[in-house]
Chains A and B, each alone.
Chain A
Amino acid sequence: MSEALIGFAAVFLLALLRIPLAFAMGLVGFVGLGLMRGWPATMANAAQVVYDTGFAYTLSVVPLFILMGNFVARAGLAQELFRAAYAFIGHLRGGLAHATVIACAGFGAICGSSIATAATMAKVAYPPMKKLGYADYLSTGVIAAGGTLGIMIPPSTILVIYGIVTETHIGKLFAAGVLPGLLCVMLLMAGIAWITWRDPAAGPAGKRSSWAERRAALRDIWGVALLVVVVLGGIYGGVFTATEGAGIGASGAFFFALARRTLTWKILRQVLVESARTTAMLFTILIAAMMFSGFINFTTMPGDLKEWILHLGLSPLMVVGAMMLIYVLLGTIMEELSMVLLTIPVFFPIVISLGFDPVWFGVLIVLVVQIGLISPPVGMNLFVLNSLLKGVPLSQIFRGVWLFVLALVIALVIVLEFQPIALWLPGFMK
């Protein structure tokens, strides 16, 4: 037990000294295991982990989904999604904000990244909201929070990573994200309604679109809709695996971008290199996390902690609830991916031994990551908006997002209490 605690403390200390988290986790895992098992075995093990993670067919799902999202972002499709959503609800109070959430959800069905969704929507949705006189705190809050739908609505980078490290079925995880994603959409829209009810000037109504305009707007998005149906429907229906679906999706998005003439050689190269870089960064931390969890699993900590918690006689749901509380609090200051990868080796065995479904826990993990991404003071989505929207001070972004943090916390409590929201859809999969 004490070895593991020292290990955790060492990772945090190294991270505070600004050592990249991947290197901190990898080094501590390596040294920890070396001291416990002896160096020759540990050295062989480290090389094997790097080798196995590099040569892994199923992990090609990661770069392919990233590539799909990046192609579609370049194809300028977010614009059309936003316009279509606006055509139907733009005339309501706060209509542009509602349309932003819906467009984020649509974009999230192709893109598995929260940061990319927020960045794309900031460019598409912020200017029209500004033009119509929306208060900055509302528009930025909505974009930041809506962006997190990118990781709940499948595909989702964090679900893929969770699936890899816990060996949970990625297709089932994707299916499990759909209804909680829609729940988040509803709660975020409720938040907008609340804000614009209290402060109607923050989100004035736009002009009503005619049915002809609505039909035209819908026509513009059929291509994406088809891509989503083929990829996610194919995975859900068991026609292909998540890895195969990712390859089809990336190819489809490529031809889509090509057909819309948004690709030059330079842009194609840029998209590919960006996606490869994101992949390499993810794999660095993935490999490091595997070394670290190799060490943690060698200590007595997972077993001790499990026993201790079972002895406390708490209700299983309370235990998971306490974990979620820890995550939400940690998420305000920590980078979320490393938070999850650091804690999974300890939390996951407990959750499983309490008899919970790993798919359900995966959805909870996504929700706490979503919350962490938008909760000040350290929330990546907020920083992304701050760097993209030069005219809006960070204090305005912080101010507007709190209500949406609350909305997602409510979503977390609902999914915690009512497991079928996550587990009903994957239940139909073989």
Chain B
Amino acid sequence: MKKKLVYLVCLFSIFSFQLNFSMYDDHDEFDVFSDTDLMMNSFIDTIDPNAAKQSSSSKEVLETLIGIFDIDRILRRNFFLKTHPLNTRRLLDNPLFLMDKDYNYGRWVLDFHLFYDQTSRMHFVRRCTDHECKDKMASGIYNYLATKDCCLIRELEQLKEKVDGVYPGLEDYSVRRVLSLFCNTKIQERRAGLFMGFMGSIRKLHVTLQVPFYYVIRNFFLNDKERKAIEKELGPVNPGETNEAEALAFARKHLVSDRLCLGDTRFSIDYPINDNGGIDFRLGVFTDIPTSVSMVKGLYGEVFCPIKKRPTVDFANLLDLAGGSEEDREQAVSFARRFGLNVLDGLSSMLVDTHLGDRRHFGLGLFVRTHTPLSCILNRGWTQNLFFKGRISLEYLFPAKECRWFIEKCNPVAFSRFDKYRSGDTVDEQVADEDLSFLEKRLVDMLFPYVYETNVRPGFIFMWTSKLTHESKRWGIHVGSDIWVQSREQLSDICCPTYQKTLLDIERSRRPWAYQWTLLGSLFFKSKRKKSTLYIGLSGEKTVASSGIGKPFKVSLSFERNF
């Protein structure tokens, strides 16, 4: 019995011993931690720290980016919701510059307007009619960039959680909160300059020539409250005066664009078609000649050219740098910073860069001018000097080549190729190389729309201005309203590689149709000289309703000489 018990204990002991050995994994056939193994020690001594500098394989990179960070889930989403430039109204279409006073001294009129025009919130999209703050809705950059896209934000938050686990220090920031700070970024445009006009009467024919010379500046804009919220959340980079100076220098380099230029020229002629002594109808034609030329660029800000040469990303190199020495890491950070600034400059070239005139489109239009005494409708003593003046025009803008931005339609099915990196399947190195190239290209595609020369057909512009005017010997007043409508543009003949033509999302690249309804008024004084009459006037207009374009206000000080 004793003997059996002893054997039992022996068996148990041996079993435990075996169990103990089986707990070692298969590569513990020699102990790498043994410092009594002289062969191992001498091998370890020969390891060269410089030998650690090797390049990561594509498979390794994908196992990290896909298997750990799920980066493909972010890249399958679109960052750009729109890629078209913003709608603006040309100065030539401004009703304040219509030369429609009662010029009764001589045959020639020389007209100068010193003007200022500001659009505080340019519209990225057509106005949403089902919202209370319609103007604000259309003017936030979240209409253009997916800064409010719930799916993208969710994916980014998940990525951040994973990064937090690996690299602490960013736990206090929330992706949703940070993006919400920037999603209401607006675009502002200001124009100031001299609008020049000359009108001559040759018998009953009126000939007019108009051209503006102006300074235009456009910038990203956040109000004080929004800026304070950003500072509160992210904190000043370097508090103090230096910080403000640096911030301003950064803004001028990346967020502001300006230029001084001569605009397009409008030449028009009109002729009376019905002059029955009361109501006066004049029919005319006009043409807009693309004479615009830039005099000085980047006086305060920069000129942003469309980024045609697309940047490249090398994830393998970036990961190697991130895992390398301090210098390597700085190099990776510097690359990321450059890449980020490139994205910003690319966005600025789309939204902020100030273009010349009407982007080189030749325009041809018809117009009708009316001049109706109120006394024709209501014959009272006080109606003697009151007139209805109107101008209706329809202009066709001819096609011209422009640089336009396009993104490719994202095909989520194409991303199924990355599933194997999550499941840990064996992957051929060549396949991994292709998959990594796809991922790198997708990141660039997501942040840098393609820039292609495109045939743009802006279509038609309709304008209807009506005013009630009163003019006496010494002064006059005009009040009225103006409606301006621009049709939606068409894009064709995109100069892109043939394979890409079906892939491009052209709808996102087309500017929306736009309209403005504006109230306007002007007050002027007449000063009669020996050989001429001088008109000095102050005018202003405010857009009260608009869609697809902002609501600007304009003021102008005019000097007109009729001789």
The answer to whether A and B come from one shared complex is: no
